[in-house]
Structure 1
Amino acid sequence: MKKLAMLFVAAATLFLYTGCGKSGSNKDPDYTCTTCTTTPEAKVANDASFKGVYKGVLIGSTGTIKFDVNNAGTTLTATLVIDGVISTLTATVIAQSGQTPTYVSDFTGTLNGQPVTIKFSVGSGGQNPVVVSATVPGHTGITFVLAKETSTALIEAFEGTYETTKPESGTFNIILSRKLALWGALARKNGSTEVDNDANGTISGDNLVREGITIATIAGDALAGEFTDGNNKKVTLKGKRTL
């Protein structure tokens, strides 16, 4: 629970899980994320520090973000990918001794020619990494979930969708660490502005498990699955790794 609290920032219930779950037939084991690293980028010297690499997913629309906070020198950058458009943001703030949180700064840049500002903060040991606020033209109400990568625990980000027999459909984006056997996610119903941000659980083998139920199975850089929720609706998930 301590590792989970440090790695995955979350808050209310996404689904009530009952019955059984199974891996889905719609996963794509042949998909490979050609831009994704297969080993941690974080340096060992930063494992217990605010310095290092932080990765996450976002909803509003959909995408990923990666912060480099002095991981291998003086670099202070963030790479934001939203709806497939890439924006490189920079910061100039240096951590101050005794400051709480230890590091907090605006990362600024442009997206489609318009100014972007994302305020990021993190504690002295890399705990509680959060996006405090985000101003991204054309994308209001963005929600993030972040995790600190370490030299031994790669963080992966998957962007995906869900469908239910309600019927209902929406976005379901996941970050996970196979090494730590933990995952966390964000979900939003199509047409809604409300984001559910408390979907999290463990990884058993290749299975994403929530309260004892397998909700999806990872196959390479893809995942998919089906389960029944507390209202006897079948929920189908699928996604692909993008970071």
Structure 2
Amino acid sequence: MNSAPFNLNLILIFKPLTKIIMKTLIMLALTGLLFLSCSNDNSSSSDLSETPLAKAKFDNTNFGIYKGVLVGSTGVVMVNIKNNNILSATLIIDGTTYNFTTVEDVIENNDIVGLTFTSGNMSFNFNVSTNGVNPYTNAIVIPGHPNVYISLIKEKSTSIVKCYQGTYLDNGANGSTGVFNLLISGNNIYGLAASNSGNSTVPLSGTVSNKIITGIIYGGGSFSGRINKNNISGTFKNADSSETGTWSGQRTL
């Protein structure tokens, strides 16, 4: 039997084509991995709402949604004063969620004084004026966290409150570190900074314009920075500029 002649030209054509196909498949695979990696990086921020929970009818009353940050560890807080006809609170401390309830009741358009929320052996009191101004907590009992402080503000239906948890690093000789947590509502900034040594907690306040942050540290000092999507970062200095440092954080509520 006569076999077909061996065609060397076909071999010469298919060899480079095979290399091109293999390179293309490798590039597609790498592109797919990169896409998956980027998707995973953004997964934590996809759950963060850009819409206020607060209802318009409660914007100028004591009812509604209050959000906050805490130090003495680190965490975020949300208090629901009959925004949907229930009284509840949620604290997320060091990544663990605790749900609080109360057996007491409140009346719309009246001051709230000492409304006690409990969760197991944890508790705190919530207070706010009749129109929702100056909310604060006291009598905070969180076992294992003896120096807890909470900063709260009321969310409006027109302006979501965003909560950021972060840290700071002092560039001074002692190189101290601590928690640097901020609340941003519209152009206003509130927050708390606390040293990891537990001997210092200070309030923070400031403004944001075109994603640029400027603020003051109560007791002396200032901080500045910028917002980049769900991340914030910047620098700080004390009153006489002898000590400076950096801070950064990420939105978690």
Counterparts of residues 58-97 of structure 1 (less than 5 Å)? 58-73=70-85, 75-96=86-107
Pick 1 or 2: higher relative contact order, CA cutoff 8 A, min separation 6. 1
Q: Which runs of 5+ in 2 are unaligned?
A: 1-40, 217-221
- Offset of residue 141 of structure 1: 1.9
Tell me, yes or no, if the aligned pair for 2:193 and 2:201 is still in contact at 8 Å. Answer: yes
Tell me, yes or no, if the aligned pair for 2:126 and 2:138 is still in contact at 8 Å. Answer: yes
- Offset of residue 210 of structure 1: 2.1
Note closer, same or farther for the CA distance 1:151–1:216 as it changes in structure 2 (3 Å cut): same
- Give the number of equivalent residue pairs: 205
Q: Which has the larger radius of gyration?
A: 2
| Separation in structure 2 between the aligned mates of residue 54 and residue 66 of structure 1, nearest angstrom | 6
Q: Which runs of 5+ in 1 are unaligned?
A: 1-28
1:219 aligns with 2:224: no
Match of 2:64 in 1: 52
Structure with more of its chain in helix, by fraction: 2
Match of 1:196 in 2: 202
| Separation in structure 2 between the aligned mates of residue 38 and residue 227 of structure 1, nearest angstrom | 28
| Separation in structure 1 between the aligned mates of residue 245 and residue 97 of structure 2, nearest angstrom | 31
RMSD: 2.1
Counterparts of residues 1-243 of structure 1 (less than 5 Å)? 32-73=44-85, 75-96=86-107, 101-102=111-112, 104-110=114-120, 115-166=121-172, 167-177=175-185, 179=186, 181-197=187-203, 199-210=204-215, 215-229=224-238, 230-243=240-253
Task: Report the secondary structure of 1:236's partner residue.
Answer: strand
CA deviation vs aligned residue, 1:23-78 (integer Å, no higher than 9, x gap)? xxxxxx968534322110000010001000000000011101100110022x1000
CA deviation vs aligned residue, 1:192-240 (integer Å, no higher than 9, x gap)? 232112x2111111011126x7611111111111244433333211000
- Structure 1, 60-69 or 29-38: larger mean CA deviation: 29-38
Task: Report the secondary structure of 2:197's partner residue.
Answer: coil
Structure with more of its chain in strand, by fraction: 1
| Separation in structure 2 between the aligned mates of residue 191 and residue 214 of structure 1, nearest angstrom | 21
- Offset of residue 165 of structure 1: 1.2
| Separation in structure 1 between the aligned mates of residue 107 and residue 90 of structure 2, nearest angstrom | 24
Work out the percentage of aligned pairs sharing the same amino acid.
29
| Separation in structure 2 between the aligned mates of residue 97 and residue 240 of structure 1, nearest angstrom | 34
Task: Report the secondary structure of 1:140's partner residue.
Answer: coil
Match of 2:26 in 1: none
| Separation in structure 1 between the aligned mates of residue 55 and residue 45 of structure 2, nearest angstrom | 22
Note closer, same or farther for the CA distance 1:239–1:92 as it changes in structure 2 (3 Å cut): same
| Separation in structure 2 between the aligned mates of residue 186 and residue 214 of structure 1, nearest angstrom | 12
The one-letter amino acid paired with 2:197 is: G
| Separation in structure 1 between the aligned mates of residue 48 and residue 108 of structure 2, nearest angstrom | 34
